[in-house]
Amino acid sequence: AQSVTQLDSQVPVFEEAPVELRCNYSSSVSVYLFWYVQYPNQGLQLLLKYLSGSTLVESINGFEAEFNKSQTSFHLRKPSVHISDTAEYFCAVKKAGNTPLVFGKGTRLSVIA
């Protein structure tokens, strides 16, 4: 079975500073990897995903994540955060094939002015 570990439950960071949200996964088979963002009282929205190909994937709002197979990691980074990035971020994994997403416990990113 797959599992996801998000090492930090909360990450406070000052506005315009860089941030990294860590995600490690466990799986014995090939997986797809996802980052979802959840704003207060909202559902989850896909931020970015890795299915195959280039190990560096980017979102439209400046986030990027790099798939590292040897370290079984998929850390999320942004070079300069904004107040509007304050949200809960969830890393998720799924096996290739028709299988459901398995989520980590989430990391609450708080951007401080």
Partner 1 sequence: EAGVVQSPRYKIIEKKQPVAFWCNPISGHNTLYWYRQNLGQGPELLIRYENEEAVDDSQLPKDRFSAERLKGVDSTLKIQPAELGDSAVYLCASSIGQADEAFFGQGTRLTVV
How many CB atoms are closer than 10 A to CB 33?
22
Asked if 17 is part of the footprint of partner 1 (rule: CB under 8 A), the reply reads no
Say which residues have a Cβ less than 8 Å from residue 87's Cβ, sequence separation at least 6: 37, 38, 39, 40, 108, 109
Asked if 25 is part of the footprint of partner 1 (rule: CB under 8 A), the reply reads no
- Point out which span in 11-19, 29-37, 56-64, 65-73 binds partner 1 (CB under 8 A): 29-37
55, 48, 54, 53: which is closest to 69 by C-alpha? 55
Q: Could you give the CA distance from residue 19 to residue 27 in angstroms, rounded to a whole number?
A: 26
54-83 binders of partner 1 (CB under 8 A): none
Residue 85 or 89 having the CB closest to partner 1: 89
Quick one: which of 26, 42, 80, 84 contacts partner 1 (CB under 8 A)?
42
Quick one: which of 22, 59, 86, 103 contacts partner 1 (CB under 8 A)?
103
Query: Beta 10-14 vs 64-68: how paired, if at all?
Result: unpaired
Residues that bind partner 1 (CB under 8 A): 4, 6, 9, 32, 34, 36, 41-46, 49, 51, 90, 92, 96-106
